[in-house]
Chain A
Amino acid sequence: MAKFYASTRANDALVGAGSRGGSRGQGYWRDLDWILLISGLALTILGSLLVWSASRADLASDTDPQSYLKRHLINVAVAIALGYLASRLNYRWLRAYTPIIYGISFLLLLLPFVPGIGVTVAGARAWIDLPGGLTLQPSEFTKIAVILMMAALLSERTDIEDEPSGRDFLMALGAAALPVAVILIQNDTGTVLIIGTVAISMIAVAGVRSRWLVALIGGAVLSILFAIQLGLLKEYQVARLTSFISPDQDMGASAYNANQARIAVGGGGWFGTGLFEGPQTQGKFVPVNESDFIFTVSGEELGFLGSVLLILLLAVIMWRAAMIAWKADDKYGRLVATGILAWLAFQTFENIGMTLGIMPITGIPLPLVSSGGTSLMAVWIAIGLLQTVRLHEVRAAI
């Protein structure tokens, strides 16, 4: 086994050497993970087209059918700019200021509770009003803050071979649990599930003892079962989570969503109806198809081929994130990359999975594709952070 790893890593080093070169000062553009960047940009463009198609019918203003698209493109521009800034961050600085980032993000998370600022969307009190008609979903940033905080706590031990101590493990767990508790109160089940998966993935990759890991996963499964059993989840939450099992039976709105989503995707066939041509999309039969159900637009209008391309582009991002985690030269970098990988991967799976009827319906967006400024910004910041880790490891390798 060890030999296998060694040889894999040697190959990576070779690839890394090939793409590197040049002097250290001009290295930023050269050392960037271009595949990651280009996939991200391609997905953002593809997403904008889909948002455009989904929003023309109902969300755009009467005078300008492109108005919603324009707002989306502004968000895209802001998001990419934030991503660039994130990629320019000093690695050490980032690690040092992680507690502050975490603290600020936690305070932001509390803002939706402030009357006059907080907004409730689809039953979740997880948004805050900003001037100019914009809304912000702080829990998106929470994901980043939790990842950074957990990475910092779990890589306390300087020796990279050291496994995290029990104290680190518990502290990391607490760093995730604190915002999760708040988000639970806000009724944003989807985000809770994502942060939970991210936390378990990070703790696993941090190398904690197997016993702890098994206990953690077991505890997570048990607490979900208990929540359902004890009726802690409200009836509609259970209905939402289980309506995907039998979407044909009438269970109200969420079953309707699941059904309409599958009709839209199923109707697309091999090649789709063509952009702007999908009757389900243009007729607005699928609710919120510009954000949570954006994949129905792809399924119907771009067909199987277009949608596979979209999934593959997302897979490329996962592959790059995984490689960055693999090659990271310190535990902090590996854990940051792992956290982002788990976040984007599970969020992608959950989002497309609910559209295809194999996952329960929860209100979370498809990374880089769905409209919604906060999510776009958070994901682009995450891509920037992946680049930071990547740049650090490339430079360390020299």
Chain B
Amino acid sequence: MSERSNIRLIVLGILIFSLFATLISRLFYLQVIEGDEYRAAAENNTVREVVEPAVRGLIVDQAGRPLVSNRTSIIVTINRQELNQENEKKGDGVIKRLAEILGTTPESISERLMPCGTEGAPKPPICWNGSTYQAVPVASDVDPQTALTIMENRAEFIGVTAKLTAVREYSGPFEVNAAHILGYLGPVTEEQISEQGQTDAFDRLRRTDSIGRSGLESFYDAQLRGKPGVTTLEVDTSGQVTGTVDQKAAVAGNYLVSTIDAKLQSVVEKQLVAAVQRAQGQGNPGDSGAAVVVDVRNGQVLAMASYPTYDPGIWVGGVSQKQYKSLVKSDSLSSNATQGLFAPGSTYKVVSTAAAGKEGYSLYADYQCPKQFKLGTQIFRNYESSAYGRISLTRALEVSCNTVFYGLADRMWEAAGGNDATRDSADPIADTATMFGFGSPTGIDLPGESAGRVAGRAFKVQNWEAKRDTWCANAITAYPETRKTNPKLADYYTALDKENCADGFRWREGDALNAAIGQGDTTVTPLQMAMAYAAIANGGTVYEPKLVKAIIGADGTVIERMAPTVKSQLDLPKSTINFLQNSLPGVTTDGSGETPFIGFPLNQIPVASKTGSAQVTGDKVSTSWFASYAPANKPRYAIVMMVTQGGTGSQTSGPSVRKIYEALFGIEGTSINPNKSVLIGGAPSKALPVIRPDGTPVAPKGKMSGVLTATGSN
């Protein structure tokens, strides 16, 4: 044989030898070095989980009455994949037939099936936000006859299933609504699934899960949800079960004991509506409102209402586009109590007073109360241009004299440097407001709380930095569009922007005057206002408001009792707080808050209050505020109510606040009977409700509270 042939045969042999060596080393790498990883993958491959959802925990009120419970409901779901496997026309037929027997329109079903973000899909939460593989619920509380029709005609309803499911029941006692407190559930979104990352923890979020989307349902979702029971089965590729690998029993979710009292909540909700109707009766729009009742000693929220509201049960089984549109249109989805931002008006004067006291201005001196305060060409007026002459500061609070506070604010502004002040100069009113908790979230156990805004030097600088570029640009372009139709207006705008561009950061005198009476750029939430008045009431502690006082296991064991949390202490001279405490009851007896409390037993239960009628830009009617606490001599509850475009605080909100105090203290006419209080035993329960082994809560036995007996003897 030729040498060339021999060499090539040897080369071929070596090549083949190395190929075989490659195979063995690769095999070693896969099986020995990376073996564990692949073994785990193999296990994942061959097991399937059967998930039995945990019973979601109940939410009970402070007395143990269920605010949110569970019930079973027949819901109808559509599996989109199965439906899509039908050709398009047939799929439409299924939806049409389904709409017919459900008594709705095909469109209202189709819109729910569209994944959020696809073309033509409605906005969340109508569009489908869940997984592609998950069946989409399209109707709940379907009657059994309809369900039977669907299940018996599978060929007519391809992809449609009717099944019994546990759903949330939001109908608490006394027609209590509490929608903005309780929240609602919705399907888990893809983002939430991917956020938790790769995990095989058995209590991980699954695509079929519902999750709290708002309110306590969302904030305490992890507590309420419990842990699902998971049976891990061994299966082959065709899904045939070949054995059981592991079994974990479901753990029911924990119960929340809310600080809310259902009966009081019901009264507050009704009184808020009454206030709104009162406003509307005066010919004002009265378009929205909020009311908050807190325990001043610990920050517990006993009742909190927002107007307009909605039926939280509407979310069960999904909401239709029509329903959702009306929700959005009525602006009822967000809570005005914790998310709504409003100018505080005169209720803010307690802040200006405290600032003056802290800055060393005499709180007991007399001040001029002219009908107006002139600043260059600008005129700052009193309400209805009343003038009171020389009056005490207490009197100024009682009659809510703006010009007294203008004067104080002007002096503080001058003292801080006036027009020559720098960014770092003192700003007593803003600093005091911040101390009271304005401009930052209260820390309530609800998602999505608003921070509000404290107008002051710092805000001006921030605002200027954010808007400077726009202002400066507009100053140059000089509003060409507006100029075409209205050159005068364009000139005005241009001049304004020129000024703002140059020194929009400056805390001007006029800003300082507005800030002193809660006007201008300051916005607050009603809850912030309630916590600020509670702080005055309790001697200077700003608590974090709480809606949940304890978490109890489904078996009745107490898991956590929430202790009061202090947000901040008012760094004010004791004399200043005392001054406020001593002055505010006068508002109710001799001042702007007098009218609604005529006939109220104020000598036994003195009420400290401050009214507010905050001006709003545009042609809008003023915001009606009524901030208060009682008993003023031994403070226990703070109540704040407000109605936008509601008129004055005294006329619109005041009477409702009075009614709430009457309900709280058991007042009928002028007689006080603690047993008639809406609170069992006349005060929030100190004990926790007991959860029976079967999961039903038992209300604690009522006890007479110390507060009422003490007040009664006064």
Contact = CB atoms under 8 A, between A and B. Distances in A.
Do A and B pair up? The answer is: yes
Interface of A: 1-2, 5, 57, 160-163, 201, 204-207, 260, 262-270, 279-280, 282-285, 299-300, 303-304, 307-308, 311, 314-315, 318, 322, 325-326, 328, 331, 334, 338, 341-342, 345-346, 348-349, 352-353, 356-358
Interface in B127-186: none
Contacts of A311: 20, 23-24, 27
B562 interface: no
Interface in B1-55: 1-6, 8-9, 11-13, 16, 19-20, 22-24, 26-28, 30-32, 34-35, 37-39, 41-43, 45-46
Contact of A163 (B4, B26, B38): B4
B27 A269 contact: no
A282 B42 CA distance: 12
Interface stretch (B229-237, B595-603, B664-672): B229-237
Interface string B235-249: 111100010000000
B42 to A, nearest CB: 4
A267 B45 CA distance: 11
B41 A334 contact: no
B3 A269 contact: no
Residue in B41, B42, B43 whose Cβ sees the most chain A Cβ within 10 Å: B42
A63 to B, nearest CB: 18
A139 B30 CA distance: 33
Nearest to B42: A267
- A2, A162, A264: most-surrounded residue (chain B CB, <10 A): A264
Nearest to B37: A266
Given A207-B5, A280-B46, 6 more contacts: A201-B12, A308-B24, A325-B9, A341-B12, A349-B16, A349-B22
B263 to A, nearest CB: 58
Nearest to A160: B1
Contact of B2 (A163, A280, A326): A163
Contact of B31 (A266, A279, A285, A348): A266
Nearest to A265: B30
A55 to B, nearest CB: 14
A334 B2 CA distance: 11
Interface in B305-357: none
16 contacts: A5-B6, A57-B236, A204-B11, A205-B5, A207-B8, A263-B41, A263-B45, A264-B42, A283-B242, A284-B236, A299-B31, A304-B27, A308-B27, A349-B23, A352-B23, A358-B22
Interface centre among B20, B27, B236 (most CB of A within 10 A): B27
B2 A318 contact: no
A284 B238 CA distance: 8
Contact of B38 (A5, A265, A283): A265
Interface string B110-136: 000000000000000000000000000
B124 to A, nearest CB: 28
A205 B637 CA distance: 102
Contacts of A356: 23, 26-27, 30
Nearest to A304: B31
Contacts of B5: 205-207, 331, 334
B27 A205 contact: no
Given A266-B30, A338-B12, A207 B2 contact: yes
A318 B20 contact: yes
B35 A267 contact: yes
Nearest to A210: B4
B19 A345 contact: yes
B7 to A, nearest CB: 8
Contacts of A204: 8, 11-12
Contacts of B242: 283
Contacts of B26: 353, 356-358
Contact of B20 (A264, A284, A341, A349): A349
B5 to A, nearest CB: 4
A304 B2 contact: no
A80 to B, nearest CB: 25
B237 A283 contact: yes
A41 B20 CA distance: 20
Nearest to B234: A279
Query: 10 closest A-B pairs (Cβ-Cβ)?
Result: A266-B38, A267-B42, A283-B236, A207-B5, A345-B16, A304-B31, A279-B46, A207-B4, A349-B19, A204-B8
Interface residues of B, number: 39
A338 B3 CA distance: 16
Nearest to B1: A160
Nearest to A162: B2
B48 to A, nearest CB: 11
Contacts of B3: 1-2, 5
A341 B16 contact: yes
A205 B12 contact: yes
Contact of A322 (B13, B35, B41, B234): B13
A357 B22 CA distance: 12
B2 A160 contact: yes
B431 to A, nearest CB: 58
Contacts of B35: 266-270
B188 to A, nearest CB: 23
A266 B238 CA distance: 22
Nearest to A308: B24
B86 to A, nearest CB: 24
Given A266-B39, A283-B46, A326-B9, A304 B1 contact: no
B47 to A, nearest CB: 9
A334 B9 CA distance: 9
Contacts of A303: 31
A277 B436 CA distance: 71
A380 to B, nearest CB: 20
A266 B22 CA distance: 16
A263 B32 contact: no
A280 B45 contact: yes
A293 B2 CA distance: 40
A126 to B, nearest CB: 25
B38 A205 contact: no
Contacts of A279: 42-43, 45-46, 234
A314 B34 CA distance: 25
Nearest to A352: B23
Contacts of B237: 283-285
Identify the interface centre among B1, B12, B26: most chain A CB within 10 Å of its CB.
B1
A304 B25 CA distance: 10
Contacts of B42: 263-264, 266-267, 279-280, 300
A267 B27 CA distance: 11
Nearest to B46: A279
Nearest to A305: B31
A308 to B, nearest CB: 6
Given A318-B20, A331-B1, A345-B16, A268 B31 contact: yes
A373 B234 CA distance: 34
A269 B16 contact: no
A279 B31 CA distance: 16
| Residue among B23, B24, B38 with max Cβ neighbours from chain A (10 Å) | B23
A267 B32 CA distance: 9
Contact of B41 (A205, A206, A267, A346): A267
Nearest to B44: A263
